[in-house]
Amino acid sequence: MKRKNQHKATFKKKHILVVGILLTGICLLGITVHRWRHAAVEPQTLSELLDLPEDKLARVDIARMNLLCATGLPNSENIRLNDHLQTLDRWAEVAKKAEEKYLPTYYQNPAKFENSLSKFKAITLALTIQEDLKCKYNIELVRSGVMQDMRRTKFFSDSRDLFVHGLIERRTGTCSSLPVLIIILGRRCGYPLYLVTSKGHLFCRWQDSHETFNIEAASRGVNIFPDSHYRTFPYPFTNREMNNEKYLKTLTSFEELGVFMNTRGLCLQEHNLFRQAVEAYGVSLRGFSNSELTRTYIDNAKRRF
């Protein structure tokens, strides 16, 4: 009887050990699969980026996406992808240190930020970009008058005004690049920032389970405007346009790519590279299939082949 009990105890211990090993293996496999599914996807060229399915595109850094969409455009010759990404990583460290430095001022007077730590972080980030990193709007574009008419593409002639490499290389940009820079640095700081469009304009949105607000930092200073502000700024638009062009919508990564490729198309068109422009617009339509504006761009470019 004693030997029989010992045999049972030994068998039980072995059974527990085997079950434990199996459970550990299952857990490790689950962790590995989870990491694989959420691992960053790092295309090295524009063609590699455009070949990605939507689920993998969501795992591409918006900075990488923006820089790749600028490659091959006039005045993009100095883009060094890895070097530019490292610069943005360093800038994010500057932004995080600024947040830590000024955090006590929030707790001293939270009402100044509407008792919102998120708004404090967003405003501090935008001001750090302006004051510490010295990134600002290209005022010469404003003075030139090219922004007065949406039908003209002169605004899109210099890729450095449109994509973040211009901010890295000469610290100036526009509403096409400054909001993207805020999102790039903010996401590196762990902020839930997203790209939003209105007619002829881009801006940022903080959106999480607790609060949602817009961030306007393309001009001097920082403002937090409601969606209603953008119904008329910088150009008014109809409900039909809002639905077809996805104005005021929090954009997905797939739609962010669409915005960048549309901008790429406009830059190519300004330089009479009409076939390439049509190709870029075609990619943009993947995320904006109902865009009447993009289809108009395509028709105009095709007429000039």
Residue pLDDT, tens place only, 231-273: 999 999 999 999 999 999 999 999 999 999 999 999 999 999 9
User: Looking at the domain assignment, is residue 91 inside a domain?
Assistant: yes
User: Looking at the domain assignment, is residue 218 inside a domain?
Assistant: yes
Q: For residue 303, which amino acid is it?
A: R
* Residue 195 three-state SS: strand
Q: How confident is the model at residue 12 (pLDDT cuts 50, 70, 90)?
A: low
CATH number of the domain to which 193 belongs: 3.10.620
CB atoms within 10 A of CB 35: 9
How far is residue 284 from each of residues 69, 222, 261, measured CA to CA in Å? 11, 30, 5
What percent of the chain has pLDDT above 90? 80
* Token digits of residue 215: 């961030």
Question: Mean pLDDT over residues 189-211, rounded?
Answer: 97
**Dihedral Cα 164, 66, 76, 73, nearest 10 deg:** -130
Question: Mean pLDDT over residues 127-143, rounded?
Answer: 92
- Rounded CA separation 142/266 (Å): 18
User: Looking at the domain assignment, is residue 98 inside a domain?
Assistant: yes
> Domain containing 128: what range?
42-232
Q: Residue 60 in contact with residue 49, Cβ under 8 Å?
A: yes
User: Looking at the domain assignment, is residue 74 inside a domain?
Assistant: yes
How far is residue 241 from each of residues 160, 195, 197, 231, 255, measured CA to CA in Å? 28, 18, 12, 11, 16
User: Looking at the domain assignment, is residue 205 inside a domain?
Assistant: yes
Which residues, including other chains, have CB under 8 Å from residue 304's CB and lie 6 or more apart?
272, 274
User: Looking at the domain assignment, is residue 268 inside a domain?
Assistant: no
Q: What pLDDT, in 10s, does the model give residues 278-295?
A: 999 999 999 999 999 999
Q: How confident is the model at residue 149 (pLDDT cuts 50, 70, 90)?
A: low
User: Looking at the domain assignment, is residue 97 inside a domain?
Assistant: yes
> Considering its fold, how many domains does the chain have in total?
1
* Token digits of residue 275: 């076939």
User: Looking at the domain assignment, is residue 276 inside a domain?
Assistant: no
